[in-house]
Amino acid sequence: METDLLSRLRTLNWRLSPQRRVVAEVFAGDHVHLTAEEVHDLARDRLPEISRATVYNTLNELVAMGELLEVDVVDGPKRYDPNVGAEHDHLVCDKCHAIRDVPRSERPPTIPHGARAGYRVTTVEVTYHGLCPACAAGHSES
């Protein structure tokens, strides 16, 4: 069982100001993939005076520390992903843009040697597109 972002930060001796704590708390629980705006909205529910700049700076710092991943698998602003422990791919709903983590397949797709244009491939990321159950059932708002 991997630990969540807040517990990881506690073990790192990172100075947990109230602002940093609420940003970390937003990512607790089920693995979520939030935009910076969503993080700001959720953080403001807990700490109304937290500024957008503080949220952005904290997110950038956490990315630089390797405690958040930047995920760019749907249209619009990039998402922040606290699931840095296990390499994983993403399942994306093309309608509501919900993102789920899925375990990385053991044998990633490979490009035939002749099609690599001389590149040495170092990483492979797979994004699965489709409709989530709610959208497939027509229950989505949008």
Q: Are 99 and 79 contacting, i.e. CB atoms less than 8 angstroms apart?
A: yes
Is 81 a binding residue for Zn ion by CB under 5 A? The answer is: yes
Is 83 a binding residue for Zn ion by CB under 5 A? The answer is: yes
Tell me the C-alpha distance between 79 and 125, whole Å.
16
**Region near Zn ion per CB under 5 A, out of 5-13, 39-47, 101-109, 117-125:** 101-109
Residue 120: CB minimum distance to Zn ion, A: 26
C-alpha torsion 5→31→36→94, nearest 10: 160
Is 96 a binding residue for Zn ion by CB under 5 A? The answer is: yes
Tell me the C-alpha distance between 18 and 29, whole Å.
19
Is 4 a binding residue for Zn ion by CB under 5 A? The answer is: no
Q: What residues between 32 and 51 interact with Zn ion by CB under 5 A?
A: none
Q: Which is nearer to Zn ion, 4 or 101 (CB)?
A: 101
Using CB atoms within 10 Å of the CB of residue 63, give its burial: 0 to 12 exposed, 13 to 18 middle, 19+ buried: middle
Binding stretches for Zn ion (CB under 5 A): 81, 83, 93, 95-96, 98, 101, 132, 135
